[in-house]
Amino acid sequence: MTIKELSEIKETYIGERKKELEEGVVTVDVHMGTCGIAAGGRNVFSALQGEIERLGVENVKLRVTGCAGLCSMEPMITVHLPGQTPVKYGKLDAAKTREIFYSHILGGHPKAEYAIGQGLEKPQKRVEIE
């Protein structure tokens, strides 16, 4: 592999993300480190998956990522709506996740009751806006 191929992988990825954003794809990071799974992260994940299948929505993408650091607030998710600041939610269960799914992920209205904060941590960048 050369530097060209390395930057190609990067650019392909960024290109795909940009395209997704233009198509209005909402990305939901479910934080499933050991702490998240222990607190019930799998229930949150399957609740989201179940709702996506039930409604047949195609513009919501689920991603499994690791622990976001705040283990006492697990299970956590981060909702990235195109063109909006990402919102972190904590202490979720299946029912709360469904509420977030409808009001924020589909409806675009963040659910402030369950939110921890909005934005990303310092060195983290959204790849697509670099």
Partner 1 sequence: MISSVSKIAYCASRKCKFRKPIDVRSLLEKALDELGYRGRIGLVETECLISCFQGPSIMFLPGGKVFQVLSEEHFTETLKGFFASLQHPTSPLLSEPRTEKEIPGIEHLDFFAKQKLIVLRNRGHIDAEAIEEYIAHDGYLALYKTLTAMTPEDVIGEVKLSGLRGRGGAGFPTGRKWEEARKYGAFPKYVICNGDEGDPGAFMDRSVMESDPHAVLEGMIICGYAIGARKGHIYVRAEYPLALRMLRTAIDRAREKGFLGRNILGTGFDFDIDIYPGAGAFVCGESTALMYSIEGKRGMPRIKPPRSTESGLWGKPTCLNNVETFANVAQIILNGGEWFRSIGTAESTGTKVFSLTGAVKNVGLVEVPMGTDLRTIIFEIGGGIRGNARFKAVQLGGPSGGCLTDEHLHLPVTFDSLQDAGAMMGSGGIVVMDDTNCMVDVARFFTQFCVDESCGKCVPCRVGLRVMLGTLEKIIVGQGEPSDLALLERQANHIASTSHCGLGQAAPNPVLSTLRYFHDEYEAHIREKRCPALVCVDLIRFEIDAEACKHCGLCSKVCPVDAITWQKKEVAVLHREKCIRCKSCIRACKFKAIH
Minimum distance of partner 1 from residue 19's CB (angstroms)? 14
95 by DSSP, 3-state: which?
Answer: helix
Contacts of 118 (CB under 8 A, 6+ apart): 85, 86, 87, 88, 110
Minimum distance of partner 1 from residue 49's CB (angstroms)? 15
Kindly list the residues in this chain that would bind partner 1 in the complex (CB under 8 A): 1-3, 6, 9-10, 12-14, 24, 29, 31, 33-35, 37, 51, 54-59, 63-73, 76, 78, 85, 87-88, 95, 98-99, 102-103, 105-112, 115-125, 127
Q: How far is the C-alpha of 127 from the C-alpha of 56, rounded, in Å?
A: 28
Minimum distance of partner 1 from residue 72's CB (angstroms)? 4
At residue 79, what is the residue type? V
